[in-house]
Amino acid sequence: MIYITGDCHGDFRRFNRECFPEQKEMNREDTVIILGDFGGVWDYRGENSNERYWLDWLEKKPYTTIFVDGNHENHVRLAEYPVREWKGGLVHEIRPHVLHLMRGEVFLLEGLKIFAFGGASSHDIRDGILDPVEDARLIKKWSRMPFKMFRVNGVSWWKEELPSEEEMRRGKENLKKHDNQVDYIISHSPSASVAAMMGFGTQKQDVLTEYLEEIRQSIPYRRHFCGHLHMDRQVNEKDILLYEQIVRIA
């Protein structure tokens, strides 16, 4: 079985047995996919950090949890986890059964080919990206002002939220190895056309939305699932946005 859901932001209560009773019939060969903004790897150093508890909690689930990264991730820490091969692609092993799907990899799950590509542009940064040292006083002031939309470099925002040229190139190379054909595309960011259809026009277009648009225009696929926009909606026959809903796809 394969289930898929949207952004968690470190809140995994939707996977409680009461909310997700289907897990009673699942085992380690079954998977739950999270479409970015996983949020489970963040700041383990904080006194109030529950990171270890929740990662261990997910590890104890009967299934395997896999996720693409979103924009609200600690990308530096994700990259520090060991890399291994899993189901035909490369992953960061957060726990033996909690895995980060690296960008541009193709995974074979239950006879299905799944192209994974994480990342997205942060849009809650209207007031800027601040430096933790140089802007320390401003950060303290703005933290008491809920209408301020800012992030702190290396603390709550990382430039790696958008892909490198190497990651995008690797994605295309891996697709070629699979004859440029997959069953599912999973990402955090929507493609450019989906963002436009949702009314965002050019304001949410970036190198990644354009890249995903190029992919979806050039290869056959059955469905493209993405998160980021915090809504559960079928945009058209092939493109689906997920947030809190958990959907079975196999």
Please tell me the distance from the alpha carbon of residue 242 to that of residue 226, in angstroms, as a whole number.
6
- pLDDT tens digits, residue range 117-174? 999 999 889 899 999 999 989 899 999 999 999 899 989 989 999 999 999 999 999 9
Model pLDDT for residues 201-235, shown as the tens digit of each residue: 655 689 999 999 999 999 999 999 999 999 999 99
pLDDT tens digits, 48-78: 578 999 999 999 999 999 999 999 999 999 9
| pLDDT at residue 80, rounded to an integer | 96
DSSP state of 11: -
Q: N- to C-terminal Cα distance for the chain? A: 5
Per DSSP, what are the bridge partners of residue 184?
A: 114, 223
User: The tokens 């520090």 sit on which residue?
Assistant: 80
**How much is the average pLDDT of 170-194?**
97
80 closest CA partner among 104, 44, 118, 116? 44
Q: Tell me, letter by letter, the H, E, C secondary structure of 194-225.
A: HHHHCCCCCCCCCHHHHHHHHHHHHCCCCEEE
Q: Which CATH class is domain 2-122+157-248?
A: alpha beta
Give 6's contacts (C-beta < 8 A, 6+ positions apart): 34, 35, 36, 37, 227, 230, 232, 241, 242, 243, 244, 245
Residue with tokens 């599912």: 184
Tokens 């898929």 -> residue: 4
**Percentage above 90 pLDDT, the chain:** 85
Note the pLDDT of residue 190. Answer: 96
pLDDT score of 202: 56
Q: Average pLDDT over the chain, rounded to whole?
A: 94
Confidence of residue 46 (pLDDT cuts 50, 70, 90): low
Q: What does pTM read for this prediction?
A: 0.94
Lowest mean pLDDT among 15-24, 37-46, 145-154: 37-46
Structure tokens at 114: 């799944």
